[in-house]
Amino acid sequence: MPHNSILLQKKLFYKTKESLSSVLPITLIVLMLNFTVTPMPFSIRGLFLIGSFLLIIGMGLFTLGADMAMLPMGEHMGSHLTKSRKFLLMLATALIMGTMVTFAEPDLQVLAELTPGIPNMTLVLTVAVGVGVFLMIAVLRILFQWRLSYLLIGLYLAVFVIGAFVPAEYLAVAYDSGGVTTGPITVPFILAFGIGISSVRGGKSSHDDSFGLVAMCSVGPIMAVLILGIFFDSGAAASEAQSFAEASNVRELFHLFRGALPFYFREVAGALAPIVIFFLLFQLIALRLPVTKLIRMGIGIAYTFFGLVLFLTGVNVGFLPAGTYIGEYMGSLSWSWALIPLGIVMGYFVVAAEPAVHVLNEQVEDITGGAISKDAMLLALSSGVAISVGLAMCRIVFDVSLLYFLIPGYGIALALTFFVPKIFSAVAFDSGGVASGAMTATFLLPFALGACRSSGGDMMRDAFGIVALIAMTPLVTIQVMGLVYKFKVRVTEDEETEALGGVIDFEEDYLDWDVEEDYVDWDVSPGDGGSGNRDV
C-alpha cells in the first residue's frame, strides 16, 4: 500500500508538471498583453492569475483521474458488451451513455449560455441526443467495418445540404456545437469505449477502429442543431454585453472564486453521477470486477471530480472575463487587424491547455505503439488551431462568411482520407473535436465575441464559428503529418530493400503491425478473473 501511494504521488506530480507546461505559455502571453497593448483592470488581471493556478492543479488531477477511472470504465464496458454479442444491448448502451456524458459536458453548458435565441435546455438536449444517436452509428461502423472516410463524406454532404435551409444566424452555432460536445468528460469515455469494442473484435484493423468515435459524435450535434434551427425565429437572436464582478483587493478576488466553487461542485457532481451510477449497475449485473479494481477506480473518480471542479472554476471565473476584455479592447483599436496575428499566437498555445487533448494524445501514442508520438500530435494540433483562430479573426475583421472556410476545408480533409493511412484519418477527425474544448468555449469564444462586439460586427454570424474552425483545421494538419509519415516510411523501406538486395520482403501495408490483442499495457492481478487493469 505505501508503495502504491508513493507511485500515485509521483504520477500526480508528473501530471501537474505537464499541466504547468501547458498553461504557462498562454498565461505569459496574456500578461505580456496586459503590460503592453491591452492593460487590464486589477480585478480581471487578478482573476486570470488565480484562474491559471486553478487550471494547473485541476488539469493535473483530472488527467490522472481519467487514466485511473474514466478510461478503464469505458474499456471494460465496451469489451464486455462486444463479448456478450447482445447487439441491441450494445446499441442501447451507446445511446444512453452518449446522451448522458454529453448532457454533462461543461463546454456545452457554456455554449448554451452564450448563444442567444435558443433556450439553454433545448440546445443542450438536442446536442446530447445527437451525440447518443451518432455514437450508436459509430459502434455499428466498428462492428460492420464500414469505412470511416465514406461515412464522413456522406454525413458532411448531408450537413451542408441541410444547412442550405437553415437561417444564417444559426449556421455558426450549429457547427460550434459539434466541437464543444467533445470535451473533458465525453472524450475519455468515448475513446475508451471504442478501444474496448475494437480490442475484443480484433482483426488487422483493430488499432484503426479504436479511433473515429469522437469524429462521428462531432457530426451528430451539427446535424441536430441545424434541424433545430429551422424551427426557431432567428430574429430573437440578440447578444448582450456581459458584465463581470469587480474586486478591489486580493481578498475580494478569492471571495469571488469561493462563491463560484459550490456551483461547479454541483455542476460536476450532476455530470459524473449518472455515469458512475450506470457503471455500478453494469458492474452488479454483468462485469463483476474485483474490489481492488473498483477501489482504484473510485480514487480515480475522486481525482476526476476535484480536478474538473478546479478547472471549470478557473476557466469560467478567471479566463472568460480576460478573453472578453482583450477581444473588446483589441477590436476597438484603429489597427484591429492585429487581432489576426494575436489569434494565431494564442491559438498555437491555448490548445495545450485542453485536458482532453492530453488524454487523446496519450491514447494515440499507446495504441500506435509510439508510431504517432504525443509530441508530434501536439505540434500538429497546435499548428491547426493557430491557423483556425487566425481565420476566425479574419472573419471578424473582413466580414467573411464561415462557409468560405468550412466547405473547402472539409473538402481537403475528406479528400486526404484517400491518401493517408487509415489510422491517421481516424485520429485526425477525432482530434478536431477534442481540440475545441473548455479553453475554446471559455477563452477563445468570449475573445471572438468581445472583438466582434467592439468592431460592430454581427455577433451570430461573425463571432460564432470559431469553435467550428478549431474543430476543422486539425483534420488537415494531422493528415498532412500522415502523408509525411507515409513518405518517410516508404523511402526507408526502399532504401533498406535496395541495400539488402531485395532479400527482405517488406509488407505493403506498413501500418498493419503485428499487434497483440491486448495492445494496451495490462497489469493483471492474481485472482481477478483474468480481467486486465490498464497500467497507468
| Measured distance CA(515)–CA(368) in Å, rounded | 9
- pLDDT at residue 240 in the model: 53
Checking if the pLDDT of 444 tops 70, the result is yes
Among residues 330, 355, 342, the alpha carbon closest in space to that of 437 is found at 355
Checking if the pLDDT of 105 tops 80, the result is no
HSE value, Cβ hemisphere, 13 Å, CA-based, for 389: 32
Q: Which three cell numbers stand for residue 421?
A: 493511412
444 DSSP 8-state letter:
I
- pLDDT at residue 157 in the model: 93
Percent of the chain with pLDDT over 70: 86
Q: Which three cell numbers stand for residue 259?
A: 462563491
∠ CA 414-462-346 to the nearest 5 degrees? 75
Q: What value does the mean pLDDT take over residues 125-147? A: 90
Kindly give the interhelix angle for 445-455 and 320-331, rounded to the nearest 10 degrees. 30
Contacts of 530 (CB under 8 A, 6+ apart): 524
522 DSSP 8-state letter:
B
Q: What value does the mean pLDDT take over residues 168-190? A: 81
Question: Locate cell 430574429: which residue?
Answer: 235
Q: What value does the mean pLDDT take over residues 206-220? A: 77
Cβ distance 413 to 428 under 8 Å? yes
What does the domain layout of the chain look like in residue ranges? 7-233+251-494
| Measured distance CA(496)–CA(504) in Å, rounded | 9
- In tens, the pLDDT along 483-521 reads 888 888 887 777 667 766 654 444 444 344 343 444 334
Q: Which three cell numbers stand for residue 130?
A: 445527437
- pLDDT at residue 219 in the model: 92
For all residues of the chain together, what is the average pLDDT?
82
Cβ distance 310 to 61 under 8 Å? yes
Q: What value does the mean pLDDT take over residues 381-397? A: 92
Among residues 2, 58, 53, the alpha carbon closest in space to that of 311 is found at 58
Among residues 135, 131, 77, the alpha carbon closest in space to that of 102 is found at 131
| Measured distance CA(533)–CA(536) in Å, rounded | 9
**pTM of the predicted protein model:** 0.76
- In tens, the pLDDT along 394-414 reads 998 888 888 899 999 999 999
- pLDDT at residue 8 in the model: 82
Distances (CA, A) of 181 to 26, 29, 303, 356: 23, 27, 22, 11
Among residues 269, 135, 274, the alpha carbon closest in space to that of 191 is found at 135
Complete DSSP assignment for 43-112: HHHHHHHHHHHHHHHHHHHHHHHIIIIIHHHHHHHHHHHHHHT-HHHHHHHHHHHHHHHHHT-HHHHHHH
**How many other C-beta atoms can be found within 10 angstroms of the C-beta atom of residue 502?**
9
Residue 81's pLDDT band, with cuts at 50, 70 and 90, is: confident
Cβ distance 350 to 443 under 8 Å? yes
Lowest pLDDT segment from 61-65, 298-302, 324-328, 359-363: 359-363
**How many other C-beta atoms can be found within 10 angstroms of the C-beta atom of residue 499?**
10
- pLDDT at residue 209 in the model: 64
Lowest pLDDT segment from 32-46, 408-422, 426-440, 519-533: 519-533
Checking if the pLDDT of 204 tops 80, the result is no
Percent of the chain with pLDDT over 90: 24
> Bridge partners of 534?
522
| Measured distance CA(193)–CA(313) in Å, rounded | 28
- pLDDT at residue 35 in the model: 92
- Phi, psi of 139, deg, nearest 5: -65, -40
Burial class (CB in 10 A: 0-12, 13-18, 19+), 90: buried
∠ CA 486-490-493 to the nearest 5 degrees? 140
Q: What value does the mean pLDDT take over residues 197-218? A: 72
Burial class (CB in 10 A: 0-12, 13-18, 19+), 386: buried
∠ CA 421-427-428 to the nearest 5 degrees? 90
- pLDDT at residue 188 in the model: 78
Checking if the pLDDT of 206 tops 60, the result is no
Checking if the pLDDT of 234 tops 80, the result is no
Better-scored residue on pLDDT, 525 or 443: 443
- pLDDT at residue 342 in the model: 92
- pLDDT at residue 261 in the model: 92
Question: Locate cell 458492474: which residue?
Answer: 283
Cβ distance 229 to 174 under 8 Å? yes
Better-scored residue on pLDDT, 2 or 318: 318
Checking if the pLDDT of 46 tops 90, the result is yes
Cβ distance 94 to 132 under 8 Å? yes
Checking if the pLDDT of 390 tops 90, the result is yes
Residue 73's pLDDT band, with cuts at 50, 70 and 90, is: confident
Radius of gyration of the chain (CA): 23
Distances (CA, A) of 243 to 67, 193, 321: 38, 41, 9
